[in-house]
Amino acid sequence: MNKNIAFIVTLLYSCALFAQEISPLPKNEIHFKASWIAPPKVSLTTYGVYHFRKRLELASKPEAFAIRISADNRYLLYINGVSVLSGPQRSDLTHWRYDTLDIASYLHKGSNSIAIQVWNQGEGMAWAQLSLQTGLWVEGIGAASIINTDTTWKVIKNQAYSPLISTLHITGPFDQITAEKYPWGWQDPDYADDTWMYAIETEKAISEKAIPVHHANASERQLLPRNIPFMEEKQQTFAHIRRAEGIAVDDRFLRGDHPLYLSSQQKGTLLIDQGVLTTAYPQLVVSGGKGCTITVTYSEALYADTNGGKGNRNKTEGKHSKGDKDVFILDGGDKRLFCPLYYRTFRYVELKIENAQFPLTIHTYNSRFTAYPFIEKARFASSDTNLHAIWEVGWRTSRLCAFETYMDCPYYEQMQYIGDTRIQALISLYVSGDDRLMKNALEQFDQSRIPEGLTQSRYPSGKKQIIPPFSLFWIAMLHDYWMLGSDPDFVKRFLPAVNEIIQWHSKYVNQQHILTQMPYWNFVDWPKEWPWKGDENISGIPAGALEGNSAILTLQYVYALQKARDLYYAFSKVEEAKRLEQLEEKIRITTYKTCWDQTKGMMADTPEKAAFSQHVNALAVLTGTIPQKDEKKVLLQIEKDTSIIQCTLYYRFYLIQAFKKAGLGNEYLRLLTPWYHMIDLGLTTFAERPEPTRSDCHGWSASPTYDLLATVCGIEPQQPGFKRVQIAPNFGNLQWIQASIPHPAGKIALHLEKKGKTIKGQITLPQGIEGVLIWHSKTMILKGGTQKIQLNGD
């Protein structure tokens, strides 16, 4: 293949195998030796794509050559023409991440070329992308210090790129690339950079120790090492060409063995289907066609020509593509490869080709899938084969909503919200056992806290947003990690933050022990009764959220108080735990007394009893506000009564937890109807909310992937750190279930069959881990290793 396209085609990311933390800074040192550098004579806060180069002369091939590297906003590293690594992971200025790797295997005796692309998104920057100014920082460790960034590095601005501001105004700019302006081969060792400028030093690189963590006015990036793995990348092909106008083509083109030829002046449009939603870097390899414009439109779904609805996602007739675009303007070169700077989210891609005076050859069109490198270690199977689709679609949803942070959705926002992240993190731990992204999220939300103590609702984010209930769910997420994770010291360090969030809310508990009017956006869910109203502070909120006395907001506080109480007892803060216990008891008693409606047999959303929802009753069960003897009756009533406000896909997570707590776990499979409806509509990921929905892929809707393991199979921690296991299966109408999940000490596996009130089969726990099997009112002690099971229920 032509070396001019090697800069993308050979993206290996193999350095993930070599990446490691090498030689951390001495304990009291706060300055690094290398400086940040930048291009001269340009604005460092506006959009720009820059190429940096440095030549290294080596007397022999080194055995080790460890470097640290970071950039603002992002970088792509090449060594001797080979693509090595992309980064850094997203963070904020006071926690700016760098990567550490040994690049010795890419170097050789004699002259070596280090080439780095740095990209600043500028004015249309993604909301999740924070920035100080364009910059590159590389520091070699030991003898590798000859690579340190300084004024010997050369740099050029790539004039080929122009930003196309996203119509969504959230995910960052899309690309227009004018190929005749591109410095093709700039990353190759023999490229002539004589006319390039020398870089300037902009500031000293400092470590995180330099400024207190929560310093609100930090004006410098504070560096600390990467704490998550490098992203996964793998080649993939499109599934089908669904429509071709003005061009004769079939699926052989997508397989890469049948190039597409267009004559001069020929125009055409291709609608290409990936088959499933994906997150990937599309790659288009072309020759000739000087002056041709290729416009690429990315869509989660197609839209009906008549009413604009999405309908069945598999159907294309009478529909059109709509979404953000990349534009490539060709220069006629041989085997040019066009690839966007950042990954795209799509199921459907439309190529609109407007050829000019010269023939055009399109050699290949494919993509490189990318996501956080979760490994699917858990398994689930059952006598109902339809549940396989629920599992598969749920896990795909989770994968696409995880990159360098968890994301609410990969297409529209790419923001890490607490409400979404709590559910996503549970799925991650159950299916992969990888806790690194969850720990990173817990840290980042703590780092986002405002002086009042609340977390921001989403972070990293350049647009501050405060949702007090999300701060409460951050406490629940910390509790989840305490129960499932293996690092209690990590949990303990956040207890001061837990206390500040609890204390902030306590200021709004009135004399009747119910939450009064609170500031900020008290979002709960997106049912049709609480729609978007053009102002976030009045959207998605229940009755009483603006005036005060909302039972839903009050019981969300109780839910967090109970989680915080557990943490306080666990870490020997007994007095604080007792204080929270007394407070939550008073609030529960008052809320029940003032909001229970005897006529309807359920809780009301406010003491006025004019609005009723599934939300408040689910919370009342979860928190023990409703007497235990009434829990089942209330839950079955709110499921049947469609006149009350319904939980959407997000809040059904809490509704299902309430069903399980009340001993109604066997009803779970009936509650999956909304998820089956999405599959029937051809969705390959689970949507943000029931139709009509904005996002076709939303992390908070993937909860069945967790519940198939935690509710149907009933696998849960009985003690913190998963040191003791509880298995309480809920078969529903299933005849058998089979599952395995990763555990900090190994693997939990089960295969159980149900016949009447008897279950039999086998269960495996990690060696040294004990547990209990609960079936109806009977229990069986479980030991480490594999054991046969036969238990007769009442």
Residue 14: per-residue pLDDT? 35
Whether residue 214 is predicted with pLDDT greater than 90 in this model: the reply is: no
Tell me the two tokens of residue 771. 């547990």
Q: How many Cα neighbours within 13 Å face the side chain of 490?
A: 20
* Rounded Cα gap, residues 46 and 133, in angstroms: 8
669 Cα distance to chain centroid: 27
* Rounded Cα gap, residues 221 and 65, in angstroms: 25
* Rounded Cα gap, residues 621 and 638, in angstroms: 12
* Rounded Cα gap, residues 789 and 773, in angstroms: 9
Residues 239, 412 contacting (CB under 8 angstroms): no
Tell me the two tokens of residue 532. 């978007």
* Rounded Cα gap, residues 637 and 60, in angstroms: 77
Average of per-residue pLDDT across 106-112: 97
> DSSP letter at 88?
P
Instruction: Compute the CA torsion angle 136, 140, 145, 150 (nearest 10 deg).
Output: 0
Distance in angstroms between the alpha carbons of the first and the last residue of the chain = 70
Residues 6+ apart with CB under 8 A from 445: 418, 421, 455, 456, 459, 474
Residue 212: per-residue pLDDT? 54
* Rounded Cα gap, residues 592 and 151, in angstroms: 69
Average of per-residue pLDDT across 766-776: 97
pTM for the complete prediction? 0.95
Residue 166: per-residue pLDDT? 82
Whether residue 504 is predicted with pLDDT greater than 60 in this model: the reply is: yes
pLDDT in tens, 308-330: 999 999 999 999 999 999 999 99
Evaluated on CA atoms 343, 40, 200, 219, the torsion sign reads negative
* Rounded Cα gap, residues 79 and 14, in angstroms: 12
Phi first, then psi, for residue 500 (nearest 5°) are -65, -40
Cα–Cα distances (Å) from 751 to 675, 714, 758, 760, in that order, read 25, 12, 14, 8
Torsion region of 761: left, alpha or beta (phi above 0 gives left; psi -120 to 50 gives alpha): left
Residue 781: count other Cβ atoms within 10 Å of its Cβ.
Answer: 9
Residue 220: per-residue pLDDT? 82
Mean pLDDT over each residue of the chain, to the nearest integer:
94
Average of per-residue pLDDT across 689-707: 97
Residue 218: per-residue pLDDT? 53
> DSSP letter at 659?
H
Average of per-residue pLDDT across 483-491: 97
pLDDT in tens, 382-393: 999 999 999 999
* Rounded Cα gap, residues 787 and 461, in angstroms: 49
Residues 510, 548 contacting (CB under 8 angstroms): yes
Confidence at 777, pLDDT banded by 50, 70, 90: confident
* Rounded Cα gap, residues 453 and 450, in angstroms: 5
3 state SS of 227:
coil
* Rounded Cα gap, residues 49 and 159, in angstroms: 8
The identity of residue 548, as a single letter, is G
Residues 6+ apart with CB under 8 A from 131: 45, 72, 73, 120, 121, 125
* Rounded Cα gap, residues 752 and 750, in angstroms: 6
* Rounded Cα gap, residues 587 and 570, in angstroms: 23
* Rounded Cα gap, residues 379 and 47, in angstroms: 45
Length in residues, the chain = 794
pLDDT in tens, 21-61: 344 444 445 679 999 999 999 999 999 999 999 999 999 99
Confidence at 467, pLDDT banded by 50, 70, 90: very high
Q: Does 73 sit behind a cis peptide bond, omega within 30 degrees of 0 on the bond before it?
A: yes
**Angle at CA of residue 717, ends 716 and 723, nearest 5°:** 145
* Rounded Cα gap, residues 686 and 394, in angstroms: 7
Residue 793: per-residue pLDDT? 80
Percent of the chain with pLDDT strictly greater than 90:
93
Tell me the two tokens of residue 141. 């460790």
What's the maximum distance between 2 C-alpha atoms anywhere in the chain?
Answer: 88
Looking at the chain, the number of H-run helices and the number of E-run strands are 14, 36
Tell me the two tokens of residue 183. 């410095």
Percent of the chain with pLDDT strictly greater than 70:
95
402 Cα distance to chain centroid: 3
Residue 108: per-residue pLDDT? 97
pLDDT in tens, 146-196: 999 999 999 999 999 999 988 777 999 999 999 999 999 999 999 999 999
Residue 3: per-residue pLDDT? 42
pLDDT in tens, 544-578: 999 999 999 999 999 999 999 999 999 999 999 99
Closest CA to 237 of 252, 222, 219: 252
Cα–Cα distances (Å) from 647 to 408, 542, 642, 652, 674, in that order, read 18, 12, 11, 5, 11
pLDDT in tens, 586-619: 999 999 999 999 999 999 999 999 999 999 999 9
* Rounded Cα gap, residues 681 and 313, in angstroms: 6
Whether residue 711 is predicted with pLDDT greater than 70 in this model: the reply is: yes
Residue 94: count other Cβ atoms within 10 Å of its Cβ.
Answer: 20
Closest CA to 502 of 592, 385, 394, 583: 583
Residue 733: count other Cβ atoms within 10 Å of its Cβ.
Answer: 10
* Rounded Cα gap, residues 749 and 702, in angstroms: 22
Residues 671, 651 contacting (CB under 8 angstroms): no
Confidence at 6, pLDDT banded by 50, 70, 90: very low
Residue 532: per-residue pLDDT? 94
Confidence at 8, pLDDT banded by 50, 70, 90: very low
* Rounded Cα gap, residues 792 and 778, in angstroms: 7
Structural domains in the chain? 3-161+179-230 (2.60.120.260), 233-371 (2.60.120.260), 379-712 (1.50.10.10)
Residues 6+ apart with CB under 8 A from 194: none
For residue 420, what is the enclosing H or E element?
helix 418-431
Q: At what angle do helices 495-506 and 468-484 cross, to 10 degrees?
A: 150
Residue 17: per-residue pLDDT? 36
